[in-house]
């Protein structure tokens, strides 16, 4: 993806001033009205300082074979930091989704056609979805202010989430507390919610959301689930048993700097925000920075890559904070690391095709998990080990967790399968969270009944 620091795009809105554009303004506007609207958009965009994605598209390619996949991989080198893979080239059975900036669309489409790579346009104009998302947030914010409430069906900024954490933990202090496990590269607090009914150093379950900052549905799901735990504790006898034996820890904003940046500047930012002398590109992929398999296939040593692994294992404060916390605790039995999108439930390994010792148990548990999820709204998930279901990825959270002795380690990819991708409308937050909760509850129930 383009980095502001070194490949400055045209000023936000500037391209819209240059004439007719795909998407453009809505029907029924007079030329004067449309020009006024463009100028207003321009002024607002400049004031907000946010990157504008007008005319950028998400293209989907279904590669027929390995050769076509490698032609897609070549695009990364041919158009460095221009083509942003939302679903990277993995295997012929999986679609490849890529965001292509308006300025590159012609070239990229030509390239695809010349290699007989058939594509469809999944998202015609990214900025249209971004504008809708921003409007929905503004509407919800007005409503929240007038009712002094918190909407679980809306997306929120980092500040709003941290404020919610304070009032949520204050309101439910019998069950939830807030722990600061470290500070981010830009010195923001890294917070974890602890759900506990007492005891000391009980068996524990870890859930993290938002390690990739643009995956907004995951933070929203983490928030909804946190609220579900306190509201269901008295009614759900399985949850009660779980919480009477185990503690649940949820890290909602696992990449606070990246998340703040998705609101202030670039909605599609994935990595953290660390910088190092002599390196012009910003950010490390926090899901490639873990010790297990560090530096292997499916991670990148180029700092400008979206899957840049960082200079060393756990070089990033956001990763080392978790490692220290989980290791220091010493009694974590399950870990669920939540991403989007693709609708998958997966388990280790990612860095190797080798099956883990309890592969069969994890396979069956993943199957039950997906079944429980499906029951809620009929959403179809696939499941399996990461390396065989998705792709080889090295230095990832769940591989580290597994090799650190947490034998129930899962990675989720939430909704959807690509219609909206990372820009899932807020109307899908609650249903996504409801089904994800049933999936996590299935895993926790199994862990409860299989102490080790
Ligand atoms: Zn992710």
Does residue 53 surpass a pLDDT of 90? yes
Tokens of 265: 């500047």
117-124 average pLDDT score? 97
Of the candidates 393, 347, 374, the one whose C-alpha atom is nearest the C-alpha of residue 439 is: 374
d(CA 388, CA 442): 23
pLDDT of residue 44: 52
Distance CA 104, CA 107 (A): 5
Of the listed ranges 76-85, 153-162, 387-396, 412-421, the least confidently predicted one is 76-85
Q: How many Å lie between the centroid of ligand 1 and the Cα of residue 28?
A: 40
Flag whether pLDDT at 50 surpasses 50: yes
Residue 144: the pLDDT is 95
Q: What global pTM score does this model have?
A: 0.90
Percent of the chain's residues with pLDDT above 70: 89
Find the 173 Cα to ligand 1 centroid distance in Å.
31
What does the alpha-carbon distance between residue 363 and residue 347 come to, in Å, rounded to a whole number? 8
Mean pLDDT calculated for residue range 199-223 = 98
Residues with CB in 5 Å of ion ligand 1: 212, 339
From ligand 1's centre to the CA of 339, what distance in Å? 4
Neighbours of 173 (CB within 10 A): 10
Evaluate if residue 298 carries a pLDDT over 70: yes
Contact criterion met (CB below 8 Å) for 189 and 163: no
Record the tokens describing residue 56, joined without a space: 């950028």
Question: What pLDDT was estimated at residue 20?
Answer: 30
Q: What is the pLDDT of residues 333-378, one digit of tens each?
A: 999 999 999 999 999 999 999 999 999 999 999 999 999 999 999 9
Is 360 a known active-site residue? no
Residue 100 has pLDDT above 80, yes or no: yes
**C-alpha 212 to ligand 1 mean position (Å):** 5
* 3-state SS class at 415: coil
Which of 133, 306, 318, 413 is flagged as catalytic? Answer: 413
- Position with higher pLDDT, 93 vs 332: 332
Average pLDDT taken over every residue of the chain: 91
Q: How confident is the model at residue 77 (pLDDT cuts 50, 70, 90)?
A: confident
pLDDT of 12 > 80? The answer is no
Res 81: pLDDT: 87
On the question of pLDDT at 221 being above 50, the answer is yes
Distance CA 25, CA 35 (A): 9
Distance from the CA of 79 to the center of ligand 1, in angstroms? 22
Distance 98 CA to ligand 1 centre (A): 15
Q: Is the pLDDT of residue 27 over 80?
A: no
């Amino acid at each position: 993806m383009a980095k502001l620091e070194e490949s400055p795009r045209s000023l936000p809105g500037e391209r819209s001033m240059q004439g007719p554009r795909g998407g453009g303004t809505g029907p029924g506007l007079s030329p004067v009205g449309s020009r006024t609207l463009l100028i207003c958009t321009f002024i607002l965009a400049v004031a907000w300082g946010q990157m504008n994605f007008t005319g950028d598209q998400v293209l989907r390619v279904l590669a027929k074979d390995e050769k076509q996949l490698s032609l897609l991989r070549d695009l990364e080198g041919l158009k460095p930091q221009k083509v942003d893979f939302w679903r990277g080239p993995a295997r012929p059975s999986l679609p490849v989704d890529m965001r292509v900036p308006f300025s590159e669309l012609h070239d990229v489409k030509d390239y695809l056609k010349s290699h007989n790579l058939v594509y469809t346009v999944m998202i015609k104009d990214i900025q249209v979805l971004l504008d809708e998302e921003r409007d929905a947030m503004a509407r919800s914010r007005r409503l929240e202010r007038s009712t002094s409430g918190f909407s679980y069906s809306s997306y929120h900024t980092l500040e709003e989430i941290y404020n919610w954490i304070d009032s949520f933990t204050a309101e439910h202090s019998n069950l939830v507390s807030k722990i600061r496990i470290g500070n981010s590269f830009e010195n923001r607090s890294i917070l974890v919610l602890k759900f506990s009914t007492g005891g000391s150093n009980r068996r524990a379950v870890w859930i993290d959301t938002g390690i990739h900052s643009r995956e907004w549905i995951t933070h929203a799901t983490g928030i909804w689930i946190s609220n579900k735990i306190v509201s269901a504790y008295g009614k759900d006898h399985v949850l009660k048993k779980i919480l009477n034996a185990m503690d649940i820890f949820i890290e909602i904003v696992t990449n606070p700097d990246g998340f703040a940046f998705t609101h202030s500047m670039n909605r599609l930012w994935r990595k953290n925000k660390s910088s190092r002398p002599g390196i012009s590109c910003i950010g490390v992929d926090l899901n490639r920075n873990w010790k297990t398999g560090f530096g292997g296939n499916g991670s990148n040593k180029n700092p400008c890559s979206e899957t840049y692994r960082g200079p060393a294992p756990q070089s990033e404060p956001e990763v080392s904070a978790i490692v220290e916390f989980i290791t220091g605790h010493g009694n974590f039995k399950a870990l669920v690391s939540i991403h989007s999108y693709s609708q998958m439930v997966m388990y280790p390994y990612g860095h190797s095709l080798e099956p883990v010792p309890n592969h069969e148990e994890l396979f069956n548990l993943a199957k039950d998990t997906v079944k429980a999820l499906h029951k809620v709204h009929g959403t179809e998930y696939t499941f399996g080990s990461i390396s065989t279901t998705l792709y080889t990825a090295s230095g990832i959270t769940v591989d580290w967790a597994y090799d650190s002795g947490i034998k129930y380690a899962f990675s989720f990819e939430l909704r959807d399968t690509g219609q909206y991708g990372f820009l899932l409308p807020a109307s899908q937050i609650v249903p996504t969270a409801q089904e994800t909760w049933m999936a996590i509850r299935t895993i926790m129930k199994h862990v409860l009944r299989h102490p080790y």
